[in-house]
């Protein structure tokens, strides 16, 4: 059982603060997006930090689990907080997530198409984006516009 599941046993659906870590994986000017099973939206690979992990360990672990890719040489892309970090899921669970987003172009492995949390993975050009996860759209659009890095929001 993971940390979030343990905390949900104690607090039910009340708001829980989380630390999310994700990676913008870039190849030839395209970004890797995953099509999620739960919300039918596309976003970057990543997930919630477990106690004792570093930001990088979380991002690498979650990306490997979700995509089959081992990512190396992470660079800090952005730190995201604020009102956009709040979400309420269909089951009533509420979270407020602070997001640490990395960028990488160095990866290896076989890209998994059907994983526990995702239907498919595909690289997209900025002019071809599918329906983006509204909680991750700001990371992805910041990647498109490439302002000064790292981004602090």
Residues 60-86: what's their mean pLDDT?
94
Q: Domain range holding 30?
A: 3-152
> In the predicted model, is pLDDT for residue 28 greater than 90?
yes
pTM across the whole model = 0.91
The answer to whether residue 74 scores a pLDDT higher than 90 is yes
- In angstroms, rounded to a whole number, what is the distance separating the alpha carbons of residues 25 and 39? 21
96: Cα within 13 Å, side-chain hemisphere: 7
CATH of the domain at 77: 3.90.79.10
pLDDT tens readout for residues 116-132: 778 899 999 999 999 99
152/19: higher pLDDT = 19
> What is the total count of domains within the chain?
1
Query: Angle at CA 77, nearest 5°, toward 114 and 107?
Result: 45
CB-based contacts of 74, cutoff 8 Å, min separation 6? 23, 56, 59, 60, 102, 103, 104
Q: Is the per-residue pLDDT at 39 higher than 90? A: no
List CB contacts of 1: < 8 A, sequence separation 6 or more. Answer: none
Average pLDDT score, the chain: 92
């Amino acid at each position: 059982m993971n940390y979030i599941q343990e905390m949900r046993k104690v607090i039910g659906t009340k708001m829980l603060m989380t630390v999310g870590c994700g990676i913008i994986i870039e190849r030839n000017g395209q970004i890797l997006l995953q099509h999620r099973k739960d919300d039918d939206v596309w976003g970057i690979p990543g997930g919630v930090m477990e106690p004792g992990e570093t930001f990088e360990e979380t991002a690498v672990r979650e990306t490997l689990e979700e995509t089959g890719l081992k990512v190396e040489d992470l660079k800090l892309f952005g730190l995201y907080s604020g009102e956009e970090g709040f979400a309420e899921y269909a089951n009533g669970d509420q979270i407020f997530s602070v997001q640490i987003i990395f960028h990488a172009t160095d990866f290896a492995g076989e890209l998994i198409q059907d994983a526990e949390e995702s239907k498919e993975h595909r690289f997209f050009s900025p002019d071809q984006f599918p329906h983006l996860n509204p909680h991750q759209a700001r990371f992805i659009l910041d990647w498109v516009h490439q302002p000064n890095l790292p981004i602090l929001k």
